[in-house]
Structure 1
Amino acid sequence: MKLYFAPGACSLSPHIVLREGGVAYEAIQVDVISHTLPDGADYYAINAKGAVPVLELPNGERLTEGVAIVQYLADLVSDKNLAPANGTWERCRLQEMLNFIATELHKGFSLLANPAMPQEAKALGVVKLKSNLKWIDTQLTEKQYLLGDQFTVADAYLFTVSNWAQYFNLDLSEFTNLLAFRTRVASRPAVQEAMKAEGLLK
């Protein structure tokens, strides 16, 4: 199994899940500016969308969306309880969280990262992003993780995306539940291993 990633990008989420699940894999770093692989090969040949992550299975099949990848991995190692079972109400709640993080938080930060975006639009984007972060903060009230006391793939994704606040000088101090959550997740051995593998921690 291969994970195509870029350090600190949204591919950190499945990278964490691979480590949490104890899944054997090869990590291949992608230059997302030049869209090349370490050997100079064209990354578009791997993913025509040019984005990370990509999970390549031993049979050559590839998944190219993080939300799909982390659920596939969670089901692959179902004994690790990284996602509720398919067909359950709890699985729907997980998908609800994953979709919120993808469409509201992930895309919210992507707007701020776009150099072509006018400053006025970015200012409005910050307001909307903070509103969404406030909602996610309320979901963590008196809970260890998004779905309760069990760490799931949604937590790996939220941790990854909320990391990006530092790059935009976005103050998270008002979101006390989110900050406590981030501390808990950051202390997990698998999270530290994934971050070290990406050069994000020494």
Structure 2
Amino acid sequence: MLYANDLACVKGDRPLFRGLNLQVAPGAMLRVAGPNGYGKTSLLRILCGLALPESGEIRWNDVPINRDRETFHRALLYLGHAAALNDLLTPLENLRFSCAAGGDKVDEDICIDALVRIGLAEQLDLPARVLSQGQRRRVGLARLFLGTRRKLWVLDEPFTALDVAAVADLAATLSDHCAAGGMVVLTTHQDAPFAKPPAVLNLAEVAW
């Protein structure tokens, strides 16, 4: 279980939110909502241990994440809004490198299938530098189709630049992950056909 207690966040000299509490149990999906500038991405980064809160604590299975980062990061898959790709590598090479760097061993054919599902069948052998921003985003999202063993998925605007079919496929994948006991925390500005509506945390309600 992911648990956050009394979180506060300040970005630069601007307070964003305080008194934030949440918990995400196995099988649950949480959507972080709120107007732009209210700290949605900042909260995701704090939950992943990539940024420090002004105050408060994050626990994974009742252990503070700063006490056992290795265990927590083995359970975590974080996909930020920006694609982190090597421009000289193809989508397939980038995906395989990303999996290997995260400690996930995945067969090449499975990687190809994932890239085709996300809509990159015609870009498999192109260098990433010629891809559009939407296509670059899809390379990272393909990891979600690989049956990863990681229990907690934290996703920043995963549906951006996807067509209707890809949105439906990704929503089904997230729903299946939760149905299998996984957990999802995400931000999104658009509706998606989840099997069950996610719980919603509105940051406007905890604005500083």
* TM-score after normalising by structure 1: 0.37
Give the strand-richer structure, 1 or 2.
2
Larger RCO, structures 1/2 (Cα 8 Å, 6+ apart): 2
Kindly indicate which of the two structures has a greater share of residues assigned to helix.
1
TM-score (norm 2): 0.36
